[in-house]
């Protein structure tokens, strides 16, 4: 507890803590179990900011990587433990939706959000928070050692000089990996072009990681010169002093959004709705903006340090429906083609 | 005499009246049997049935009507349409729970620009289809324009059968893992057993110095999670590794890394078994060999190896089992090299394909069960061999041999201590390899994945509860099954259940727990997501070795204690409290420390079971490494190491203290 | 409980009545329909080679391994099916089964505690028992600090602590060395006599049985071969097995000749024939000490006497055991115990010829083994 507190010990936070205590005694606090894949270091801040407006709702985080949270939710399908999902990939939420696990709810002020951040259903089942954009983490120091030019496009990565110097997440275990694959298919051709691109890329890949943020962290640590990951992770590592360059390939980049939804059958519907309402407010969007350059409410986002400035323009028109409905087939095909890399040697 | 016996009425058959003690004891056995059924047999059954739970598209349940501007056609089912166009064979229709099939597939000349209208309905309400992302599971007719119709996918419905296994064995990327797992396990087994044999041989047969120190060092790997050596190897041989040149360009990520790491974490297990085997060998055989002027080399092959063969076989199977079921190490350093245990994780966590996860679990069970069976068989043989009284071997000094032994043991010790030291160093480096200044930043777990310092305290809680509850359950169970009279069937059922956990890989157990406990119909559902389920799971996971330790201790007790107590009209519980427990106290403490240390280091079983309130240090190591926070992962790993070292020290201290007060009689 | 009966069969009611006890372990019959009556205050020994069923018999009486069929009555009550805790006995095992973590006095007190007996009463009783077994100062010691004999006595004291009606001893002396053993024999016997507690002891040591028991039950292959006082067992064995198992016994094959004569080799002897048919094969048996050397000066043709040659002589301290051969007897040789005096008178030495008599009342005749 201590380090977290010191970090945030602004006057504001102290006031919040005091008021929390005061309110906490007056109002009956509700415990909301919230499943999330938001980065661990942001969770405390999210809860604190939320509690400033709603001190009577106590958030109990269940945090894990996207894959695990999704697996958990699906495993618990017949007996959901979560009340709300706040900060899980929209792709995953679509999966939950197709299982009928989400409670449709139209949060107050949803019309203020960018349309692509809201579920298309008559009553939306989920609302987006921020976008989470693919990009390339490029370690200048290590690249120099191997005389690697900084790639400008995805196709640049196919050049022979990058052979063995690339790492990307395995789409079968990482949401980020799937996001990359799905964006390539959408950009380069769903039937042929995308797969041809990946066939050639595969030859240059040193290995696939299980986690989506790991390639960037490995690049930051110099373990590999180039990691295909997402911008947010790169910015964080850069902030820590890693010799990183975050490259947004010119063809455009895939993205997913972090989104919020209510789990059907929750016994704390009212509190859940309060949280979802709050999650799309301006305050919340400003809060997301601390780490994410693209947020759901237009006009809110300020440039984020270390983030590439052209990010928003490069985001492709992502077809989530395509991604969700073809996910299984894509992953099976990917598995068949690339997942026995060590044997191919 | 015989004639008399024939004519006299037969003596009455006696149906022994069971004593109150026996009834209570059988009650206890039944309770613990029930415990093992609930915590082991039922979950495994749930998992097994999951592996047979298949998904397929039920084409008969979907009906179409088409209107190409000339009125609606008669309804026809997707099955009829499929027969007509010969599109899908039955095996194409097998899928997973998340399988989706576009309805346009049934209309070869479909164009989303045509003005044709389509209608779709489900005959029964037990399937569903998606329009875009909207789920439809009613039995109404739904009408779509061709532009909308292309957004429709039908979903699979459940069935049972062998289809999952068929899919598994027809997917090379999946079943090749079997080959990989076997290869890695064989190789690691050979290396570990050879190294451990040399080490044990040096400890037993030489008069070199520092034996005590070597014994301590050799036990270090038991105190850390199996994935910790993986982290150390990354720092040593990774692309930024300190001594990566030693690999001559080979990548540490893959078989090389897994094998080195496996050798590290299985070494102490092999050493313990082989040391025991060498220690029981009979010095008279060596005297005979010396008398026959056999060379040291010949003596080694004709006396030493045959004498230790059961130990060697047993060690080999234990190592094999540990490697093939380990999950943490290949996850950390396996790179693209797929192993069965990691496949389970990938199927379940990466793809949410629980059925396939269950299938891989079943596949992983087979080599594990085989290894277990052979090991049990060999152990039985060894017991028979042991019954002869032998004279322990006392080594004589031999300068050159002692020097070689010392050098060899030092090498192994450097390997073990080296890996641990690298981890500790890595944990203290600010930002490897760019900023080598030392700091404690990596211990700031709050800002990392994995649950922060809470996960550390959770782990300690888990360790303590597991040690406490586990020891009680295991020891009481072992006592009952050893000392109750009669009830042969119940006892053998219990023995069987108690031996089973050893053959069940942790991943499989953890997954089985999800299937069993996270079922709303299960009255025990409430413990899902709590510390309790992890305590239960960990106790069950490590039940067998604890049980055997307890049984061994109990077997050393005089068999007639119970008879004496009964003749003195004393209930068994008084004997248990006054005599059995105090006499077995050293073993009881051993069981608790074993459970504690394993609870601190285990990853595989609990990876599926932890919840936000119950994140664990060992899982945090995995998750932090997974997220690329390798240094904090090393830091947390070292926290586990120091905690276990501390626990061992406390255990020693307490043991010694208790021994002084309760075991005064041993002094004689 | 006054002791008026010193183990004389036939008087008063038996304390322990065992009727056709059978114990099977799977297909193996460990006890085959054995019956026995034990009188109050008696000291009974079950004697036999290992595997004869004696321990099974004892454990059945204790209720530790309850019999398959047959009844056990103790003091008039049927205890056949009762578990040990509901029977009335104290037991001492070969291993003593002393609780290693309890001192000698705590061991003795074990059966007294928890029985609504006051602490001071317990202490008094423990001291009394320590006194009784002759170890008044050893109370605070742990079993491991006591010698084997001392441990055995503590085990005895513990078994007697609750004043059981029946004392069961399962080879209580066999783990001790010979000297301690013979000393303890007398002590235990004396103690048993003093307390008058009905006692059943299992032993494979005939000397132990002969010196301690009021009556001996000789067992073999799960059946009782003979029950009798030590002298009866020794002097009048009922079966060849008993004759062979207890003491030394010469055995020579022969045939029944007539009602009161048998033939061995070329010689005919007067003997009991137990109504066996003429010409039936028999084994004649005589103890070495019952072979009587004849004064060489006595020329009279005494009954059952024969001329033998001394084949070998073995000096056993107080007497000579000599091996005797006679061509008239065929291959068989006889062992005879000759007093030192007799050897001197006879001038016996290897190779010399002497005359010996096999008194008819000392000559036992049995059907050969396996012919029953």
How close C89 comes to chain B (CA, Å)?
A: 6
CB contact under 8 A, B133 and A320: yes
Is residue A15 assigned to a domain? no
Instruction: For residue C109, give every residue at least 6 positions away whose Cβ sits within 8 Å of its Cβ, in sequence order, or none.
Output: C122, C123, C125, C126, C161
Residue of A nearest to B239 (CA): A223
Could you tell me if A270 and A246 lie in one domain?
no
How confident is the model over A37-59, as pLDDT tens digits? 887 778 889 999 999 999 999 99
CB contact under 8 A, B335 and A342: yes
Mean pLDDT of C38-57: 94
How confident is the model over A124-176, as pLDDT tens digits? 999 999 998 899 999 999 999 999 999 999 999 999 999 999 999 988 878 88
Task: Flag whether C touches A (3+ CB pairs, 8 A cutoff).
Answer: no
* Residue A128: φ, ψ to 5°: -80, 160
Residues in chain A within 8 Å Cβ distance of B611: 62, 81
Residues in chain B within 8 Å Cβ distance of A40: 446-452
Give the helix ranges, DSSP H, for chain C: 54-62, 104-109, 119-132, 148-160, 178-195, 206-212, 230-235, 240-245, 340-346
Measured on CA atoms in the order B308, B310, B314, B320, is the torsion positive or negative? positive
Nearest CB partner across the interface for A98, out of B130, B451, B623: B130
Q: Do you know the residue count of chain C? A: 372
Could you tell me if A202 and A291 lie in one domain?
no
**Alpha-carbon dihedral angle through residues A287, A291, A295, A299, given to the nearest 10 degrees:** 70
Residues in chain C within 8 Å Cβ distance of B23: none
**Do strands A166-169 and A205-209 pair parallel, antiparallel, or not at all (unpaired)?**
parallel
Residue of A nearest to B130 (CA): A98
How confident is the model over C158-181, as pLDDT tens digits? 999 999 999 999 999 988 888 888
Q: What is the DSSP letter of C291?
A: P
pLDDT of residue A25: 42
Nearest CB partner across the interface for B434, out of A4, A39, A243: A243
Could you tell me if A120 and A247 lie in one domain?
no
Is residue A9 assigned to a domain? no
Instruction: For residue C202, give every residue at least 6 positions away whose Cβ sits within 8 Å of its Cβ, in sequence order, or none.
Output: C45, C46, C54, C55, C57, C58, C169, C170, C171
Instruction: For residue C88, give every residue at least 6 positions away whose Cβ sits within 8 Å of its Cβ, in sequence order, or none.
Output: C74, C75, C164, C165, C166
Residues in chain C within 8 Å Cβ distance of B15: 81
Residues in chain C within 8 Å Cβ distance of B588: none
Could you tell me if A74 and A184 lie in one domain?
no
Q: How far is CA B479 from CA B31, B146, B500, B638, in A?
A: 13, 73, 18, 37
Residues in chain A within 8 Å Cβ distance of B434: 141, 222, 241-243
**Do strands A255-263 and B76-77 pair parallel, antiparallel, or not at all (unpaired)?**
unpaired
Residue B321 contacts residue A141 (beta carbons within 8 Å):
no
Could you tell me if A233 and A139 lie in one domain?
yes
CB contact under 8 A, C85 and B15: no
Mean pLDDT of C95-103: 91
The secondary element (H helix, E strand) that includes residue C225 is strand C223-228
What part of B 375-434 touches A (C-beta under 8 Å)?
A: 431-434
Cα C239 from Cα C366, distance rounded (Å): 7
CB contact under 8 A, C162 and B22: no
Cα B238 from Cα B250, distance rounded (Å): 10
Nearest CB partner across the interface for C69, out of B12, B19, B583: B12
CB contact under 8 A, B450 and A40: yes
Tokens of A210: 């299980």
* Residue B62: φ, ψ to 5°: -110, 130
CB contact under 8 A, C101 and B564: no
| Residue, of A343 and C254, whose pLDDT is higher | C254
A188 falls in which pLDDT band (50, 70, 90)? very high
Nearest of C261, C254, C252, C263 to residue C288 by alpha carbon: C252
The verdict on C164 touching B (C-beta cutoff 8 Å) is yes
Could you tell me if A246 and A260 lie in one domain?
no
3-class SS of residue B269? helix
pLDDT of residue C12: 66
CB contact under 8 A, A63 and B520: no
pLDDT of residue A332: 85
pLDDT of residue B1: 40
Interface test mutation site (partner B, options A90, A343, A344, max chain B beta carbons within 10 A): A343
Residues in chain B within 8 Å Cβ distance of C71: 11-12, 14
CB contact under 8 A, B19 and C101: no
The secondary element (H helix, E strand) that includes residue B476 is helix B452-483
What part of A 14-43 touches B (C-beta under 8 Å)?
A: 39-41
E strand intervals along C231-280? 250-258, 261-264, 267-270
Domain count, chain A: 2
Is residue A224 assigned to a domain? yes
The secondary element (H helix, E strand) that includes residue A187 is helix A175-188
Residue of B nearest to C141 (CA): B665
Nearest CB partner across the interface for B628, out of A95, A216, A341: A216
Residues in chain C within 8 Å Cβ distance of B664: 142
CB contact under 8 A, C142 and B565: no
The verdict on B558 touching C (C-beta cutoff 8 Å) is yes
The verdict on B663 touching C (C-beta cutoff 8 Å) is yes
Could you tell me if A173 and A280 lie in one domain?
no
A97-101, A212-216, B9-13, C58-62, range with the lowest pLDDT? B9-13
Residues in chain A within 8 Å Cβ distance of B253: 206-207
Could you tell me if A92 and A147 lie in one domain?
no
Is residue A305 assigned to a domain? no
Query: What domains sit in chain B, N to C, each tagged with a CATH number?
Result: 20-51+450-500+524-667 (1.10.3720.10), 56-160 (no CATH), 166-409 (1.10.3720.10)
Residues in chain C within 8 Å Cβ distance of B483: none
How confident is the model over C246-303, as pLDDT tens digits? 988 998 888 888 888 888 888 888 888 887 888 888 899 999 999 988 877 777 777 8
Residues in chain A within 8 Å Cβ distance of B616: none
Residue of B nearest to C98 (CA): B561
Nearest of B102, B101, B94 to residue B55 by alpha carbon: B94
Could you tell me if A183 and A208 lie in one domain?
yes
Contacting chains of A (3 CB pairs or more, <8 Å) are B
**Which residue stretches of chain B have pLDDT < 50?**
1-6, 386-389, 668
The verdict on C234 touching B (C-beta cutoff 8 Å) is no
Structural domain for A109, as ranges: 28-131+256-295
| Residue, of A282 and B659, whose pLDDT is higher | A282
Interface test mutation site (partner B, options A43, A60, A64, A330, max chain B beta carbons within 10 A): A64
The verdict on B126 touching A (C-beta cutoff 8 Å) is no
Instruction: For residue A241, give every residue at least 6 positions away whose Cβ sits within 8 Å of its Cβ, in sequence order, or none.
Output: B431, B434, B435
CB contact under 8 A, B623 and A64: yes
Is residue A229 assigned to a domain? yes
Is residue A194 assigned to a domain? yes
* Residue A206: φ, ψ to 5°: -75, -50
Contacting chains of C (3 CB pairs or more, <8 Å) are B
CB contact under 8 A, B582 and C67: no
How close A212 comes to chain B (CA, Å)?
A: 7
How close B30 comes to chain C (CA, Å)?
A: 21
B-to-C residue pairs, Cβ atoms closer than 8 angstroms: 122
Residues in chain C within 8 Å Cβ distance of B8: 20
Enter the ipTM. 0.83
Residue B532 contacts residue C31 (beta carbons within 8 Å):
no
Could you tell me if A139 and A185 lie in one domain?
yes
Mean pLDDT of C352-368: 88
Tokens of C55: 């321990």
pLDDT of residue B226: 92
CB contact under 8 A, C22 and B560: no
Whether omega for the bond prior to residue B50 falls within 30 degrees of 0, making it cis, is no
What part of A 171-210 touches B (C-beta under 8 Å)?
A: 172-174, 206-210
| CATH number of the domain within which A72 lies | 3.40.190.10
Instruction: Look over chain C and give the mean of its residue pLDDT values, rounded to a whole number.
Output: 88
Is residue A113 assigned to a domain? yes
Cα B273 from Cα B270, distance rounded (Å): 5
CB contact under 8 A, A339 and B173: yes
- Edge-to-edge strands of the sheet including B62-67? B76-77, B62-67, B117-122, B142-145
Is residue A14 assigned to a domain? no
pLDDT of residue C328: 81
Could you tell me if A76 and A183 lie in one domain?
no
E strand intervals along chain A? 30-36, 57-63, 84-89, 102-103, 126-139, 166-169, 205-209, 226-230, 244-247, 255-263
| Residue, of B541 and A236, whose pLDDT is higher | B541
Could you tell me if A208 and A125 lie in one domain?
no
The verdict on B4 touching C (C-beta cutoff 8 Å) is no
């Amino acid at each position: 507890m201590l380090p977290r507190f010191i970090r945030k010990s602004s006057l504001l936070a102290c006031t919040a803590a005091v008021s929390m205590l005061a309110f906490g005694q007056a109002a009956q606090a509700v415990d909301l179990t919230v499943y999330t894949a938001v980065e661990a270091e942001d969770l405390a801040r999210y809860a604190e900011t939320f509690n400033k407006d709603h001190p009577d709702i106590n958030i109990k985080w269940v945090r894990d990587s996207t894959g695990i949270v999704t697996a958990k939710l699906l495993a618990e399908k017949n007996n959901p433990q979560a009340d709300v999902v706040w900060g899980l990939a929209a792709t995953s939420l679509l999966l939950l939706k197709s299982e009928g696990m989400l409670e449709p709810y139209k949060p107050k002020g949803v019309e203020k959000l960018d349309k692509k951040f809201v579920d298309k259903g008559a009553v939306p089942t989920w609302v987006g928070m921020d976008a989470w954009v693919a990009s390339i983490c490029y370690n200048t120091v290590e690249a120099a050692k191997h005389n690697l030019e900084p790639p400008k496009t995805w196709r640049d990565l196919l050049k022979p000089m990058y052979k063995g110097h690339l790492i990307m997440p395995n789409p079968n275990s990482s949401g980020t990996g799937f996001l990359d694959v799905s964006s390539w298919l959408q950009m380069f051709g769903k039937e042929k072009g995308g797969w041809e691109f990946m066939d050639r890329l595969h030859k240059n890949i040193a290995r696939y990681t299980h986690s989506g943020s790991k390639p960037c962290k490995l690049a930051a640590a110099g373990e590999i010169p180039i990691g295909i990951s997402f911008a947010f992770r790169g910015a964080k590592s850069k902030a820590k002093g890693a010799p990183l360059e975050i490259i947004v390939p010119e063809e455009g980049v895939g993205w997913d959004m972090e989104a919020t939804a209510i789990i059907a059958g929750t016994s704390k519907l009212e509190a859940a709705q309060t949280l979802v309402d709050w999650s799309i407010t301006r305050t919340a969007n400003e809060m997301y903006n601390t780490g994410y350059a693209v947020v759901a409410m237009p006009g809110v986002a300020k440039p984020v340090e270390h983030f590439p400035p052209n990010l928003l323009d490069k985001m492709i028109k992502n077809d989530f429906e395509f991604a969700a409905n073809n996910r299984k087939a894509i992953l099976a095909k990917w598995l068949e083609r690339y997942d026995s890399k060590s044997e191919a040697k | 005499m015989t004639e008399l016996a024939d004519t006299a009425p037969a003596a009455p058959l006696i149906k022994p009246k069971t004593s109150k003690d026996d009834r209570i004891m059988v009650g206890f056995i039944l309770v613990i049997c029930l415990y093992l059924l609930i915590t082991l047999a039922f979950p495994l059954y749930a998992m097994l049935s999951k592996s047979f739970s298949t998904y397929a598209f039920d084409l008969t349940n979907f009906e179409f009507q088409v209107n190409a501007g000339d009125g609606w056609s008669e309804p026809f089912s997707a099955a009829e349409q499929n027969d007509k166009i010969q599109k899908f064979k039955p095996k194409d229709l097998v899928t997973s729970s998340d399988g989706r099939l576009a309805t346009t597939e049934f209309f070869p000349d479909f164009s989303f620009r045509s003005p044709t209208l389509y209608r779709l309905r489900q005959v029964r309400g037990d399937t569903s289809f998606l329009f875009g992302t909207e789920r439809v599971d009613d039995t109404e007719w739904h009408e779509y324009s061709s532009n909308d119709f292309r957004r429709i996918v039908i979903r699979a419905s459940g069935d049972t059968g062998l289809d999952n296994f068929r899919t598994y064995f027809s997917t090379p990327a999946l079943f090749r893992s079997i080959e990989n797992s076997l290869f890695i396990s064989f190789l690691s087994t050979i290396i570990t057993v050879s190294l451990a044999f040399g080490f044990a041989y040096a400890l037993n047969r030489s008069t070199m110095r520092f034996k005590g120190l070597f014994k301590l060092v050799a036990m270090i790997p038991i105190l850390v999670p199996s994935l910790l050596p993986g982290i150390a190897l990354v720092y040593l041989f990774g692309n930024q590794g300190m001594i990566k040149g030693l690999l001559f360009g080979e990548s540490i990520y893959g078989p090389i890394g897994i094998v080195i790491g496996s050798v590290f974490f299985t070494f102490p297990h092999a050493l313990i078994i082989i040391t025991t085997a060498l220690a029981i060998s009979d010095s008279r055989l060596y005297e005979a060999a010396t008398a026959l002027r056999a060379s040291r080399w010949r003596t080694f092959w004709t006396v030493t190896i045959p004498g230790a063969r059961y130990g060697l076989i047993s060690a080999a199977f234990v190592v094999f089992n540990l490697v093939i079921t380990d999950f943490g190490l290949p996850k950390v350093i396996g790179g693209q090299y797929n192993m069965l245990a990691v496949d389970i994780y990938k199927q379940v966590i990466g793809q949410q394909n629980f059925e396939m996860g269950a299938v891989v679990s079943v596949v992983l069970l087979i080599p594990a069960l085989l290894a277990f069976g052979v090991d049990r068989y060999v152990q039985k043989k060894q017991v028979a061999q042991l019954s002869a009284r032998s004279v322990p071997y006392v080594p004589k000094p031999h300068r050159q041999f002692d020097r070689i032994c010392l050098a060899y043991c030092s090498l192994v010790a450097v390997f073990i201590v080296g890996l641990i030291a690298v981890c500790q160093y890595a944990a203290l480096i600010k930002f490897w390899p760019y900023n080598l200044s030392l700091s404690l930043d990596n211990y700031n777990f709050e800002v990392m994945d994995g649950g922060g310092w809470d996960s550390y305290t959770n782990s300690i809680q888990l360790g303590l509860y597991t040690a406490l509850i586990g020891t009680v359950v295991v020891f009481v169970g072992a006592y009952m099954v050893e000392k109750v009279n009669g009830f042969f069937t119940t006892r053998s059922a219990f023995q069987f259940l108690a031996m089973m956990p050893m053959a069940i890989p942790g991943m499989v157990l953890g997954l089985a727990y999800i299937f069993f406990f996270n079922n709303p119909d299960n009255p025990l559902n409430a413990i899902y997501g709590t510390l309790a389920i992890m305590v239960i799971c960990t106790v069950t996971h490590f039940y067998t070795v604890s049980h055997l330790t307890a049984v061994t201790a109990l077997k050393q007790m005089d068999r007639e204690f119970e008879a004496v107590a009964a003749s003195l009209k004393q209930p068994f519980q008084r004997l248990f409290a006054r005599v059995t427990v105090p006499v077995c106290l050293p073993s009881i403490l051993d069981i608790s420390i074993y459970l504690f240390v394993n609870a601190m280091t285990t990853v595989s079983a609990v990876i599926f079971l932890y919840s936000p309130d119950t994140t664990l240090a060992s899982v945090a190591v995995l998750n932090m490494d997974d997220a690329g926070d390798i240094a904090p992962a090393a830091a947390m790993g070292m926290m586990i190491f120091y905690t276990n070292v501390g626990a061992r020290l406390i255990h020693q201290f307490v043991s010694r203290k208790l021994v002084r007060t309760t075991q005064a009689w041993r002094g004689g | 409980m006054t002791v008026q009966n010193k183990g004389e069969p036939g008087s008063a009611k038996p304390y322990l009545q065992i009727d056709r006890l059978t114990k099977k372990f799977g297909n193996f019959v460990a006890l085959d329909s054995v019956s026995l009556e034990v009188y109050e205050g008696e000291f009974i020994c079950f004697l036999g080679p290992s595997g004869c069923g004696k321990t099974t018999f004892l454990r059945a009486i204790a209720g530790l391994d309850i019999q398959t069929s047959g009844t056990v009555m103790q003091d008039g009550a049927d205890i056949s099916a009762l578990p040990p805790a509901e029977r009335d006995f104290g037991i001492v095992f070969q291993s003593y089964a002393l609780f290693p973590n309890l001192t000698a006095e705590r061991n003795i007190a074990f059966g007294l505690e928890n029985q609504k007996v006051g602490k001071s009463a317990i202490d008094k009783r423990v001291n009394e028992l320590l006194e009784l077994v002759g170890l008044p100062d050893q109370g605070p010691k742990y079993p491991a600090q006591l010698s084997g004999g001392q441990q055995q006595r503590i085990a005895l004291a513990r078994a007697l602590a609750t004043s059981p009606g029946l004392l069961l001893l399962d080879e209580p002396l066999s783990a001790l060395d010979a000297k301690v053993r013979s000393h303890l024999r007398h002590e235990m016997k004396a103690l048993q006599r003093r307390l008058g507690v009905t006692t059943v002891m299992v032993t494979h040591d005939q000397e132990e049985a002969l010196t301690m028991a009021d009556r001996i039950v000789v067992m073999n292959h799960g059946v009782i071969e003979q029950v009798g006082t030590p002298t009866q067992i020794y002097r009048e064995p009922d079966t060849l097995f008993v004759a062979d198992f207890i003491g030394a016994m010469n055995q020579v094959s022969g045939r029944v000749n007539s009602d009161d004569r048998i033939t061995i080799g070329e010689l005919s002897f007067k003997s009991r024939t137990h109504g066996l048919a003429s010409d039936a094969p028999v084994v004649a048996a005589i103890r070495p000490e019952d072979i009587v050397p004849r004064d060489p000066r006595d020329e009279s043709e005494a009954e059952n006497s024969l001329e033998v040659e001394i084949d070998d002589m073995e000096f056993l301290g107080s007497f000579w055991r000599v091996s005797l051969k006679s061509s008239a007897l065929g291959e068989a040789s006889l062992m005879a115990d000759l007093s030192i005096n007799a050897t001197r008178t006879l001038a016996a030495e290897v190779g010399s010829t002497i005359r010996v008599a096999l008194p008819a009342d000392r000559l036992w005749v049995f059907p050969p083994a396996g012919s029953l």
